[in-house]
Structure 1
Amino acid sequence: MPDRLSTLVNSCLLPAYGGAVPADWLKRALDEGLAGIVLYGANLGLLDGRVREVVTGPLRAHCPDLIVALDEEGGDITRAEYHRGSNYPGALALGVVDDVELTERVGSAIAADLIEAGVSVNLAPCLDICPGPELPVFGTRSFGADPARVAAHARAFVTGVQRHGVAATAKHFPGLGATRVDSHFTLPTVRASEAELRARDLAPFAAAVKAGVQAVMTGHVAVPAFDDAPATFSRRFVTDVRRG
């Protein structure tokens, strides 16, 4: 039996696995408190639509409260339609059209697909403000440059997704849209004052929280005006600002 610390650590983890069929180690890890899994296009592309049959059904039979998560933003970021491209418009297109009812319907349709596959958490929407074309990291993944518009679409997408019982995830808190480098490879820095960050980058996250969003994903970014530590390791960001 794992010790209590190992169980607590496992309860915070959502690992991926290779191939179509979950590896044997996953069931052993679930017995030791693992929270769940994240699925990627490389998994789903091999399953030919049999996600519930091969993956989520058998794993939930083993562990009923298993979390199954994936990124399904629509547009450029899709896992469920990895090999053919998403049927749904991405955030930039929705922001340009600026019809919040359409955004809510898109979120709802995506969530209905995920429920059918047995997915319980959608790692979307992306709420990063992208203030200009010279900041290309998020490109079509952002609803736009206007905080009020992004906040409105944040509420709509979250409402649509969660109508079906799928948890939405507001990301990448406190906002990566004004960065110039990809945080997968290096630590970006946002050179904004606290007042500017609150008015611009944090506004969509506040809207998502008010809409009842079930999860928030932190972004690995430094904001010196707030804290010396990157946001992922910052008590001020993660506890004081996000939870408070």
Structure 2
Amino acid sequence: MDITLEDLSLSERIGQVLCFGWQDNTPEEARTVSAHARALVEEMLVGGVVLLGRNVDAANPQQIRATIADLQRLSRIPLFIAIDQEGGTVNRLRAPFHEFPGNMALGATRNADYAYRQAQAQARELLALGVNWNFAPVMDVNNNPDNPIIGVRSYGADPQLVAEMGTAAIRGYQQTGLLACAKHFPGHGDTSVDSHLALPVIPGDRRRLESVELVPFRAAIAAGVGAIMSTHILFPALDTERPATISRAILTGLLREELGYDGLVITDCLEMKAIADTVGTARGAVEALKAGADMVLIAHTLEVQRSAVQAIREAVEGGELPEERLNEAVSRVLSAKRRFLSALPPAEGDPWLNPEHDALEQEIARASITVVKSAPNEGYRLRKGETLALVSAHHSLPKLAEEIRRHQQNVIIVQLDPALPDEQVREALQEVVSVQQCLVATSPPEPWSDASIDQTKQAELVKALHQQFGERLVAVALREPYDIRHFPDVDNYLCTYGYRPCSLRALADALFGQFEPAGRLP
């Protein structure tokens, strides 16, 4: 790529610091180069686009590849094509692509080679489509069990474990040719507020931040991570007034000057309410660039995107955003493009059909299954031939039942409403009264769901089932491992760290003695 800063007009330079997404009136339009997508590239001259779930039909990889190629043809300067393909709960691409276990599952294996190999496999699948930037890995230390948005997306609560696993993933992505992005700087783990919905505050002092939040990011920088994503969180120990994304003290003072990072810095989406409902998205774009960000991410709304572009232009022309700062940001974007886009392999093939990826996905899932508590004599195991009930208010229960039925057909399935109405729960308890063994699957609230499970009633259900079944009850946490806080007396408790198909299959195999679970709480 031979484009230089001097070759670019002001409009082109502003465009290079933009990473925007698009949406449209129908699913079909959102998956093609629609009028909105065309406006991003031809009108706003963006440096990158981000693919969300609405933009991809995983069942049609050729269409995804064609859309990306069409976007690239419209742009004079090669585009970053970004996606969130973390593994686990956050995957824009579903089957036939490999969803892989999430980060906390990897943490439970204690095997950094799994993180490396999984990242390599993910990179091969993304590059074959034309995707060249993954917004991963998550480098947050999940030291708050009530965190509503990070949770199993983190490798765990140990900063050193997060650093080890995350840097292995970075190497896996980048050695395969895919730009990685460590997120969410300087840390989103110790909060009980979702920054999509409000502005969180992490009150720890500087010493605590140095010993926890910053450990993985220091390691990521040392590993040569190509990009870092900022978070919309207030850290009073670092800046008493401004969240990290718009804080010069954090993005320039801490990240650039103290930690010595000279790679690409991109914001998290500025349409998240932590920014949109405070300074506003357009103003937030200007403030983020002034603070030291190199790219601003605005993923959804065309009018908001146009307003941000205009705000940046006015800030440059009025002298509020020094042209030197804009040029510095553009130079980093171009440098990252030279590093990662100059020698990309052609977008071809179908590595998502590679049986080695199948095997790796299942191997990692098996290695992650964790037995936290077990009654004597492997009491967590289900016994073939005995009547069995599966009970849950979680939407993944039918898929879990499919996996259980590979081992035993005689199964009663009790799917409950997430609100767990009293009458329905009473009927469920009566329905399983003559059953010999029971598995109950639990989950914390899911912020992306319109019907989160009632946590109080879920705990009451587990306690009632435990009273009924005693040691013949097996409780399984389908996501974060912390559910047992609400029913500590259960005799058998397992963790899967996610409910993607590979994890549900591994759970079923463990419950029926196909392998010895060796995962450890991360």
TM-score by length of structure 1 reads 0.92
Q: CA deviation at 1:89?
A: 1.1
Distance 1:85 1:220 in 2: 31
Counterpart of 1:119 in structure 2 is 131
Q: Is the 8 A contact 1:76 1:85 kept in 2?
A: no
Letter in 1 for 2:22: Y
Q: CA deviation at 1:124?
A: 0.5
1:54 aligns with 2:59: no
1:22 aligns with 2:33: yes
Distance 2:52 2:46 in 1: 18
Letter in 2 for 1:66: L
Counterpart of 2:46 in structure 1 is 34
CA gap 1:46/1:95 in 2 versus in 1, 3 angstroms: closer
Q: How many matched pairs?
A: 241
Q: CA deviation at 1:15?
A: 1.4
1:96 aligns with 2:108: yes
CA gap 1:223/1:23 in 2 versus in 1, 3 angstroms: same
Q: CA deviation at 1:62?
A: 2.7
Structure 1 unpaired stretches of 5+: none
CA gap 1:29/1:43 in 2 versus in 1, 3 angstroms: closer
SS in 1 for 2:69: helix
Q: Is the 8 A contact 1:51 1:117 kept in 2?
A: no
Which deviates more, 40-49 or 62-71? 40-49
Matches for 1:147-226 after TM superposition, within 5 Å: 147-226=159-238
Distance 1:54 1:232 in 2: 34
CA gap 1:66/1:236 in 2 versus in 1, 3 angstroms: same
User: What's the CA shift string for 1:33-92, capped at 9, x where partnerless?
Assistant: 3112100111112761124542111222232511100001001110121x7785311000
Which deviates more, 201-210 or 10-19? 10-19
User: Percent of aligned pairs with the same residue?
Assistant: 34
Distance 1:53 1:114 in 2: 10
Distance 2:128 2:97 in 1: 18
Distance 2:173 2:244 in 1: 26
Letter in 1 for 2:68: T
Which deviates more, 25-34 or 206-215? 25-34
Distance 1:66 1:130 in 2: 33
User: What's the CA shift string for 1:202-238, capped at 9, x where partnerless?
Assistant: 1101111111111100000000011021101111111
Counterpart of 2:82 in structure 1 is 69
CA gap 1:110/1:241 in 2 versus in 1, 3 angstroms: same
Q: Is the 8 A contact 1:78 1:86 kept in 2?
A: no
Distance 1:124 1:46 in 2: 19
Distance 2:87 2:58 in 1: 20
Please, what is the CA RMSD of the aligned residues? 2.0
Which deviates more, 130-139 or 23-32? 23-32
SS in 2 for 1:177: coil
Which deviates more, 21-30 or 214-223? 21-30
Bigger share in strand: 2
1:231 aligns with 2:236: no
CA gap 1:187/1:5 in 2 versus in 1, 3 angstroms: farther
Q: CA deviation at 1:135?
A: 3.1
Distance 1:53 1:149 in 2: 36
Counterpart of 2:14 in structure 1 is 9
Q: CA deviation at 1:7?
A: 3.4
CA gap 1:51/1:126 in 2 versus in 1, 3 angstroms: farther
Letter in 2 for 1:116: A
Q: CA deviation at 1:26?
A: 3.5
Q: Is the 8 A contact 1:181 1:188 kept in 2?
A: yes
Distance 1:29 1:135 in 2: 34
Which of residues 104, 111, 121 is equivalent to 1:109? Answer: 121
Counterpart of 1:243 in structure 2 is 256
Structure 2 unpaired stretches of 5+: 1-7, 24-29, 258-522
Q: CA deviation at 1:25?
A: 4.6
Q: Is the 8 A contact 1:137 1:179 kept in 2?
A: no
Distance 1:96 1:132 in 2: 17
Letter in 2 for 1:148: Q
CA gap 1:134/1:59 in 2 versus in 1, 3 angstroms: closer
CA gap 1:41/1:52 in 2 versus in 1, 3 angstroms: closer
Distance 1:21 1:106 in 2: 29
Distance 1:74 1:17 in 2: 23
SS in 2 for 1:73: strand
